[in-house]
């Protein structure tokens, strides 16, 4: 039935439009495969998938968008780097305060010192960050990108999402029942809210457009070759679906 539907779309809408739509469908098929592996085979109800998708999308954008000289040609990168150093130093101080019990400080007092220090340092660093980000938005619009090939952003995005996923999984996989879903959903919403509201970094809801093409388009390759490449990737996705369907099921990881 799916094949009949695809052929009907090709017949009605034309090859160019149908192929473009099927490329988008293939992207969503990859997301569905990820959910199938996590939810279906691993038994982990991870509700934070879109947060990791957002990280990958951000990296693809950041690495491929051309360099913004209005940002890098000013003193703003140095000021932003200074704020990042402040943040790193604040984290070191808070971690050190959380280990004061090793020096004989009572645990209640250690906790109080760490919490108060964390709140104070957070307010200091965030105020400095807001000043710099406001200056970036007013003078340069946003930081721009690195002007590198898009495939580098794909690799870094996958590595970043995997690293964040490992860190989150190390904490959250011990949770049971609905708590794992709640924790991962909350983390995903934090990531999406940060990226959507950081106009200085991602232009927020205004989006960064147009993005450089990751590969030569149909105009350079010719439509026939482009369609052949797409169908090849489609065959790979179908093969992955097949192997996932015959893979042995595993017991739920959080039961």
What pLDDT, on a 0 to 100 scale, did the predictor assign at position 215?
A: 64
Residues 133 and 92 in one domain: yes
Residues 193 and 103 in one domain: no
Q: In this predicted model, what pLDDT tens digit does every residue of 117-132 receive, in sequence order?
A: 999 999 999 999 999 9
Residues 160 and 200 in one domain: yes
Q: In this predicted model, what pLDDT tens digit does every residue of 31-82 receive, in sequence order?
A: 787 777 777 777 777 778 888 888 888 988 898 888 889 898 889 999 999 9
3-class secondary structure, 67 = strand
What pLDDT, on a 0 to 100 scale, did the predictor assign at position 88?
A: 95
Q: In this predicted model, what pLDDT tens digit does every residue of 192-208 receive, in sequence order?
A: 888 888 889 888 877 78
Q: How many domains does the chain have?
A: 3
Residues 56 and 149 in one domain: yes
CA angle 46–236–244, rounded 5-degree value: 45
Q: In this predicted model, what pLDDT tens digit does every residue of 163-181 receive, in sequence order?
A: 888 887 777 777 666 777 7
Residues 154 and 194 in one domain: yes
Q: Read off the pLDDT of each residue in 108-121 and give the average, rounded to a whole number.
A: 92
For residue 231, which phi and psi values (nearest 5 degrees)? -65, -30
Residues 57 and 77 in one domain: no
Domain of 7, in residue numbers: 1-41+221-255
Place of tokens 């927020």: 204
Q: In this predicted model, what pLDDT tens digit does every residue of 196-245 receive, in sequence order?
A: 888 898 888 777 877 777 666 666 666 667 667 767 777 777 777 777 66
Residues 156 and 53 in one domain: yes
**DSSP letters of 193-235?**
HHHHH-HHHH-GGG---SPPPSS--HHHH-HHHHHHHHHHHHH
What pLDDT, on a 0 to 100 scale, did the predictor assign at position 253?
A: 46
CA angle 21–23–29, rounded 5-degree value: 105
Q: How sure is the predictor about 103, in pLDDT bands with cuts at 50, 70 and 90?
A: confident
On whether the pTM is more than 0.95, the answer is no
Residues 151 and 54 in one domain: yes
Residues 91 and 129 in one domain: yes
Residues 5 and 50 in one domain: no
Q: How sure is the predictor about 254, in pLDDT bands with cuts at 50, 70 and 90?
A: very low
């Amino acid at each position: 039935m799916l094949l009949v539907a695809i052929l009907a779309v090709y017949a009605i809408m034309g090859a160019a439009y149908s192929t473009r739509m099927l490329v988008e469908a293939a992207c969503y098929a990859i997301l569905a495969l990820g959910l199938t592996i996590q939810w279906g085979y691993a038994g982990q109800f991870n509700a934070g998938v879109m947060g990791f998708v957002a990280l990958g999308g951000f990296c693809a954008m950041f690495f491929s968008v051309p360099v913004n000289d209005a940002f890098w040609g000013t003193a703003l990168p140095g000021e932003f780097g200074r704020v990042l150093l402040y943040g790193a130093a604040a984290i070191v101080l808070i971690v050190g305060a959380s280990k004061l019990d090793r020096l004989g400080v009572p645990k209640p007092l250690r906790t109080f010192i760490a919490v108060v220090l964390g709140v104070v340092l957070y307010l200091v660093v965030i105020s400095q960050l807001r000043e710099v980000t406001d200056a970036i938005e007013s003078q340069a619009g946003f930081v721009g990108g690195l002007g590198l090939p898009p495939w580098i952003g794909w690799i870094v995005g996958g590595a970043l999402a995997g690293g964040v996923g490992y860190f989150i999984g190390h904490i959250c996989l011990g949770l049971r029942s609905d708590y794992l879903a709640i924790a991962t959903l909350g983390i995903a919403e934090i990531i999406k809210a940060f990226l959507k509201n950081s106009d200085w970094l991602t232009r927020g809801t205004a989006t960064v457009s147009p993005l450089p093409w990751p590969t030569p388009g149909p105009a350079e390759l010719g439509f026939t070759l482009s369609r052949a490449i797409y169908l090849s990737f489609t065959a790979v996705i179908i093969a992955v679906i097949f192997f996932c369907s015959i893979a042995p099921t595993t017991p739920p990881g959080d039961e």
